[in-house]
Chain A
Amino acid sequence: MVTVDLFNSLYVFILAAFIGFEVIRKVSPLLHTPLMSLTNALDAIAVVGAIILAGERKTTLSLILGTIAIVAATSNIVGGFIITDRMLKMFKSSRTQKP
């Protein structure tokens, strides 16, 4: 079973990496800062692992570590989306800007 999971995971990893390269290559250098803050927020999806860890509460250690991990990841999600949107709101073209 373990090897089946492993190969499934590897397939997903490789395909996702290719998609990532293709999609992100097309992001204009103009938006590289928002790109970084957005991918950071998306990366904080690690929170799902932390939620399960804390929620299952198998040991005190796993509850404590899981809880701290949720705090860290959630702050990235909230902060990352807020700042990305704030930055993107500022980008205006001269056509839409001039009355």
Chain B
Amino acid sequence: MIPQSHVIEVTYIIAVVLFILSLKWLSSPATARRGVWAGEVGMLLAIIGTLLYNGIVDYKWIAIALVLGAIIGVPLGNVQMTAVPQRTALSHAFGALCVTLVGTAEFYLRTPHVPTFVMSVLSLEVILGGLTFTGSLMAAGKLQEVLPQRPITYKGQNFVNLGMLAIAVVIAVMLVRDPGNTTLYPIMVGISLIFGIMMIIPIGGADMPTVISLLNSYAGLSAAAMGFVLNSKLLIVAGSLDGASGFILSVNMSKAMNRSFTNVLFGAFGQVQTAAAGAVEQRNVRSATPEEAAAILSAANKVVIVPGYGMAVAQAQHKVRELYDALTKRGVDVKFGIHPVAGRMPGHMNVLLAEADIPYDKLLDMDEINGELPQTDVALIIGANDVTNPAARTDASSPIYGMPILDVDKARTVMVIKRSMSPGFAGIDNPLYYLDNNLMLFGDAKQFVNSIVRELTGGGGH
């Protein structure tokens, strides 16, 4: 008879293999759905294996909790695609909550006899878990717009935040030396919870892709730390895969904004921008009507559409698909240029455009599309701003100087759909709008695209 613990370990090993395969298959859209399947099977096996554990004396609450979790999970899995960023932030919060609660329970079960090493990783686990929990809730609140999206800054903010983190670390060290001190523990958790809130307060919407990735990484690392505490290799592997993924995405996002992590978290972008926005001068701007825009687009051979968060806000992606269809039918080559930080989370635009049935091989990332923009007749920008700002290349005084951008200004004609000339969310003036080859299309993204589509499809074939 094979011992039960071995059976459980085998299910865990198979789960680990399936998890790694799951991520490997995600590398291409062709195999990606197989990856989800592998993940699901691995998860199911691991859970069944765990339920076999003979130390379990009571299944009632486990069953209730599993059912309840599934009931909450189904609607969270079926949110609108535009709500995916806040859903993701919320799921980081749930993951971190689980880890923090388990860590807390472990502490109270084991105190005062907690070995130094275990207490160290346990502290790491709950500090990371705690700040990820509240930080992700804050991020979700900002993305859902139940909290103000504007970055809130005050004097000495960085000092306060770093101070709090330092205190949490000092308490952790004290707990490592004296794990029997049950009064210190709640203080440590409390501080990390408050730190999570304070950390997100100065973050603006444009920084969300980086912050979500960073929180993703923290959630993974806290789970890996939990694996150390419970001596569970399965958890260590899953946690470090998640941590690595979040880390890679954070690095990508920071690079795409030409900023360091510390700059995103402590830089308070908003302050720089209000200063820059004061320097706006009156310059010539040319605008065009939907009819003119349609005429220019239909005369083009090659069109690149650059979507941004504004497209998501206006829910214009399905109209954009109609525009894509209308132009493709006329033999125009239409592609999409996606900046890594377009939208509110990594890959946000791709998901919205895929939802609108635009084939994924037409969605090109920044490096690919920048090679094609000089040969492009029309670059049409829908709801994107900073990622197209040529000042990032030329103006060393600009707050976004050095940030890699989509070189839309190299296209023969640039058209920008925008509500008004007011600087966007980030508050940085965009010299693109004053270029000779630029046309402003003033209006709501969805309505304006709709008017263009009507011009292209109606009007007796022309």
Binding site for B on A (CB under 8 A): 2-3, 5-6, 8-9, 12-13, 16-17, 19-21, 23-59, 61-63, 65-95, 97
Residues of B within 8 A of A8 (CB): 233
> Is B226 part of the binding interface, using a Cβ–Cβ cutoff of 8 Å?
yes
- The 8 Å CB contact of B220, one of A19, A39, A77, is A39
B212 CB contacts on chain A under 8 angstroms: 36
Chain A CB count within 10 A is highest, among B46, B97, B118, B240, for B240
B351 within 8 A of A: yes
Q: Does B84 contact A (CB under 8 A)?
A: yes
- Secondary structure at chain A's binding surface: helix, strand, loop or mixed? helix
Query: How many contacts A-B (CB < 8 Å)?
Result: 372
A38 contacts B23, C-beta separation under 8 Å: yes
Contact of A24 among B51, B73, B102, B245 (CB under 8 A): B245
Interface string of B51-91 (1 = CB under 8 A from A): 10101111101101110111011111111010010011001
Q: Name the B residues within 8 Å of A2 (CB-CB).
A: 115, 117-118
Q: Tell me what chain B mostly uses at the interface: helix, strand, loop, or mixed.
A: helix
Q: 6 A-B Cβ contacts within 8 A?
A: A12-B236, A16-B241, A16-B244, A17-B240, A48-B235, A65-B105
Complex contact A31–B101 (CB within 8 A): no
Using C-beta atoms within 8 Å of the partner chain, give the interface range for chain B: 35 or more
Give complex CA distance A2, B119 in Å. Answer: 12
Asked whether A38 lies within 8 Å of B36 as measured between CB atoms, the reply is: yes
A57 touches B58 (CB 8 A): yes
Residue of B nearest to A74 (CB): B69
Question: Which residue of B is nearest A98, CB measured?
Answer: B359
Query: Which of B25-33, B190-198, B387-395 forms part of the interface with chain A?
Result: B25-33
In the bound complex, CA of A13 to CA of B26 (Å): 22
**Cα distance, A66 to B47, chains bound together (Å):** 15
B354-A91 in contact (CB<8A)? yes
Question: Cα distance A59–B220 when bound, in Å?
Answer: 27
